[in-house]
Amino acid sequence: MKELSQQAESALSGTPQQWHDIDWCRVQRNVRGMQIRIAKACREGKWRRVKALQRMLTRSKSARHLAVRRVTENQGKRTAGVDRVLWDTPDAKWKAANGLKRRGYQPRPLRRVFIPKSNGRERPLGIPTMTDRAMQALYLLALAPIAETKGDPNSYGFRIERSTADAMGQLFVCLSKKASVQWILEADILGCFDHINHDWLIANVPTDKVVLRKWLKAGVINKGQLQATDAGTPQGGIISPTLANMVLDGLESQLKQYLGVTRAKKLKVNVVRYADDFVITGNSPEILENEIKPWVEQFLAERGLRLSPEKTQIVHIDQGFDFLGWNFRKYSGKLLIKPSKKNVKAFYGKVKEVIDTRKTARQEDLIRLLNPILRGWALYHQPVVAKQAYSRMDSKVFLKLWRWAKRRHPNKSLEWIRKRYFRAVGDRNWMFATTVLDEGGTKREIALYSLASTPIERHKKVSGDYNPFDLSMEEMGEKLRMERMLKKLKYRKQVTSLFQSQKGLCLLCNQPITKETGWHDHHVIYRSQGGGDSLGNRVLLHPICHQQLHARGLTVCKPASSEALFKA
């Protein structure tokens, strides 16, 4: 438990007068309490009550504060819309939160940008203004409990505490046994985000219809020209992934109703979906081709979507198929999941580009650029059969770095180059490593991340019926969050130790620290005042709480019991 001085406590518990006065513990509690009530009413089918609770939530100050906090802390906080406005000061955030109102609201057109895709093409993104992003975040707070409650059990994309590894785990359950299904319909939707039918969305998504229509019809500014948006939801909007998910929800449940639950089980029909990518299993290619595929096409046609003829195919498990960067295939009756060739090629292309474009960079800078890329790819494939891929990729990266080093010193001997850039680390003799000086002037060694050193760890799949807004699953959710955060922090031992000692909570607002919220490593006694880097002088705080602590002149003491004491 943290203790606040009387002055700080009264300031935080009263009506806030500025951004840093907001009591985020109270805000989170108010919003989550309302979301739980919305989910409960949704499960009971009380849609008039759902609508009333949604209206209450979107008009509350707590929800408006949380919406502004989300758009000013996520990755897009430095990307402006067509109005070129950013909320980068506490005053701007405070005024924005007070100005989020439905009456008179008119969204601005989206700013069109393009990002490269893995196949060489470009993906169009629509960047809303900060105001429109905050309004979408506000209404998403009221829509998320319904999306989670009504979502298909085996839909894993853009949902709380669900990931690609969960989708992989479900496919392993469906395909790994000797008596498991043999045939798979590998489906791909053609331009899902760009072709969703607006009329279907407005008629079927339980949110404010007037505001939703305004977002869908806002238009796009591309090369200075205003273009109308007659279909689709823009990739880049905060609420777009949830809308796309709700469009495809029912693919699993309605298919099984169409076939009949008993018949679907007999035919071994399983649906696993991640966003707009999905696979459907069946015990024969005829069932998939003549009965299931036509039904899926009709299901999608009602929503303005259709399957891609080139990427949709029916395959046997012995032939294998790619899904979410993995290849699923049975070898002599045993299912092995490996990194797909396409994924490996794209990853090496990214590493190669980093090395080729930094021919004159310092070795330590190149290592710092490559390590997050290497570690991220290795951890993504950690739950599957990836050791061979790791070793092969380590070899290719080594050869690329060896050529990089030789090019820099054409007149030096190979032995000189080896000693200059490579050294023995542990039981390995050819590690790309160097010595650097810390801020304190002490020397330490940094080395390139070794893919082959990544241990293979099986992923524990989330339960298909998990609902983060169901109070009966609160304990399951807390356990799941802690396990996944500790796994994410596994290679950052000091942060892991702090996270465990704080039971995964921010010590200022007492709310969970998650991958979405992020965290700051705060020094109790500032380093400029002689404070050290020991764990006894550090705590983890939310970024917004860290800013609030400094803005309000609070200090934090960390007693021996690891409980925090905040005072003005």
pLDDT at 5 over 50: no
pLDDT at 289 over 70: yes
Average pLDDT of the segment spanning 58-62: 95
pLDDT digits 0-9 by tens, 9-22: 444 446 888 998 89
| DSSP string of 150-178, one letter each residue | HS-TTB-TTSTT--HHHHHHHHHHHHSST
Statement to judge: residues 439 and 487 lie in one domain? no
Average pLDDT of the segment spanning 449-471: 92
Statement to judge: residues 359 and 421 lie in one domain? yes
More confident residue, 60 or 237: 60
In a domain, 500, yes or no: yes
In this prediction, residue 9 carries a pLDDT of 46
In this prediction, residue 416 carries a pLDDT of 94
In this prediction, residue 264 carries a pLDDT of 93
Average pLDDT of the segment spanning 262-276: 94
As a whole-number percent, the residues of the chain with pLDDT over 70 amount to: 93
The model's confidence at residue 440, banded by pLDDT at 50, 70 and 90, is low
Statement to judge: residues 423 and 527 lie in one domain? no
In a domain, 33, yes or no: no
Q: Which of 453, 483, 517 is the last residue of a domain?
A: 453
Statement to judge: residues 348 and 426 lie in one domain? yes
Task: Give me the CATH number covering residue 532.
Answer: 3.40.1800
Q: Which of 323, 353, 352 is nearest to 340 (CA)?
A: 323
Average pLDDT of the segment spanning 123-142: 91
pLDDT at 253 over 80: yes
Residue 491: which domain range?
472-552
Statement to judge: residues 353 and 439 lie in one domain? yes
In a domain, 7, yes or no: no
In a domain, 501, yes or no: yes
By the 8 A CB rule, do 132 and 81 touch?
A: yes
In this prediction, residue 8 carries a pLDDT of 45
Q: What is the DSSP letter of 505?
A: B
Statement to judge: residues 385 and 447 lie in one domain? yes
Q: Which of 171, 125, 349 is nearest to 277 (CA)?
A: 171
In a domain, 356, yes or no: yes
Average pLDDT of the segment spanning 409-419: 93
Backbone dihedral region for residue 564 (phi beyond 0: left; psi -120 to 50: alpha; all else: beta)? beta
Statement to judge: residues 491 and 429 lie in one domain? no
More confident residue, 546 or 46: 46
Statement to judge: residues 533 and 436 lie in one domain? no
Across 77-81, 349-353, 510-514, 531-535, least confident range: 531-535
Counting the structural domains of the chain, the total is 2
Statement to judge: residues 514 and 449 lie in one domain? no
Across 51-60, 183-192, 250-259, 351-360, least confident range: 183-192
Residue identified by tokens 């999306």 is: 147
**DSSP 3-state of 544:** helix
Query: How far is Cα 377 from Cα 568, in angstroms, rounded to an integer?
Result: 44
In this prediction, residue 529 carries a pLDDT of 66
Angle between helices 387-408 and 414-421 (to 10 degrees): 120
pLDDT at 554 over 80: no
Number of C-beta neighbours around residue 336 at 10 A? 14
Q: Which of 69, 57, 54, 59 is nearest to 23 (CA)?
A: 69
Across 88-92, 162-166, 436-440, least confident range: 436-440
Average pLDDT of the segment spanning 422-433: 85
Q: Which amino acid type is present at position 301?
A: A
pLDDT at 560 over 60: no
Query: How far is Cα 338 from Cα 460, in angstroms, rounded to an integer?
Result: 17
In this prediction, residue 566 carries a pLDDT of 41
Query: How far is Cα 329 from Cα 336, in angstroms, rounded to an integer?
Result: 6
In a domain, 437, yes or no: yes
pLDDT at 565 over 50: no
Average pLDDT of the segment spanning 313-335: 95
Rounded to the nearest integer, the mean pLDDT of the chain is 88
In this prediction, residue 67 carries a pLDDT of 95
In this prediction, residue 118 carries a pLDDT of 65
Q: Which of 274, 281, 31 is nearest to 141 (CA)?
A: 31
As a whole-number percent, the residues of the chain with pLDDT over 90 amount to: 62
In a domain, 238, yes or no: no
In a domain, 249, yes or no: no
Statement to judge: residues 378 and 411 lie in one domain? yes
Statement to judge: residues 479 and 430 lie in one domain? no
pLDDT at 470 over 50: yes
